[in-house]
Structure 1
Amino acid sequence: MTLYMLSVHHDGTEDFSQMTPEDMQPIFEAVERFNKDLQDAGSWVFAGGLEPIEAATTVDNTKGEALVIDGPFSESKEFLGGFWVIKAGDLDEALAWAQKGSAACEGKVEVRPFQGDTEGL
């Protein structure tokens, strides 16, 4: 089995501040069902949702002196909203999980394998 990260990306067009808890509840429930399906299949490793991009802090210590910046360093409107780390036999299996995850969270999901040997993890 290989480890893959399924990351949920938002493109900046969503207005989460306008969504009520009632609007969000069906998405939460769908993601909860998806998480259970991953666990039941033995593919679950870890998952998490992230606070909004405004809660981010960027640290840049590439020039020998740490620069701490509130918010994202990138000017991009896209941001990472959450992720799953899963075990899958191959890319096709990971893509199938990503399709289900994308439907559950109503967001785009990027699939990326981890580097190196993840067989023992």
Structure 2
Amino acid sequence: MAEYLIYFNQQWVGDHTEEWFRGRGPLVMAVLAEMKEAGSYVFAGGLEEDGPVFSADATSGTVLVTDGPFVETTEFLGGFTVVDAADDETAKMWAGRIAEACGWPQEVRRFQRTPQDS
């Protein structure tokens, strides 16, 4: 088994009505319930779009924590799910299920194996 990150950038969501978003919630919750039942669910969550953002930078030799993103960008992470999947095909299946439920694209990346996992 390997852990995969399934994620989306906030800009991929698109403009929708509040009613549309409320209708997606039960669909997403159903997929997460399926993941839990299958033993694949590790974590899922959306990030606050207007919440606080902090950056920590230690490249100068001293840790500097500032408000705001490290670099200005037009795209930022909107939310993510971590799944434990037997293989790439299973991870892609979960990403597809989430994309259908949410109504916007998802990307999938496998976490690097740590030395103790090898």
Q: TM-score, normalised by structure 1?
A: 0.81
- 1:60 aligned to which of 57, 60, 64: 57
Contact 2:12 2:105 in 1 (8 A): no
Q: By how many angstroms is 1:23 displaced?
A: 3.2
Counterpart of 2:97? 100
Which one is further off, 111-120 or 40-49? 111-120
The number of residue pairs the alignment matches comes to 117
| 1:51 maps onto 2:48 in alignment | yes
Counterpart of 2:73? 76
1:9 maps to amino acid: N
Contact 1:4 1:113 in 2 (8 A): yes
CA distance, structure 2, for counterparts of residue 72 and residue 6 of structure 1:
21
Q: By how many angstroms is 1:54 displaced?
A: 4.9
Q: Mark the runs of 5 or more structure 1 residues left unpaired by the alignment.
A: none
Q: Residues 53 and 37 (structure 1 numbering): CA distance in 2 closer, same or farther, change over 3 Å?
A: same
Q: By how many angstroms is 1:65 displaced?
A: 2.2
- How much identity, in percent, do the aligned residues show? 38
1:109 maps to amino acid: Q
CA distance, structure 2, for counterparts of residue 28 and residue 13 of structure 1:
14
Counterpart of 2:38? 41
- 2:82 aligned to which of 76, 79, 85: 85
Deviations 1:23-68 (A, max 9, x none): 3211211111110111121111111111115521111111112222
Counterpart of 2:10? 10
Root mean square deviation, CA, Å: 2.5
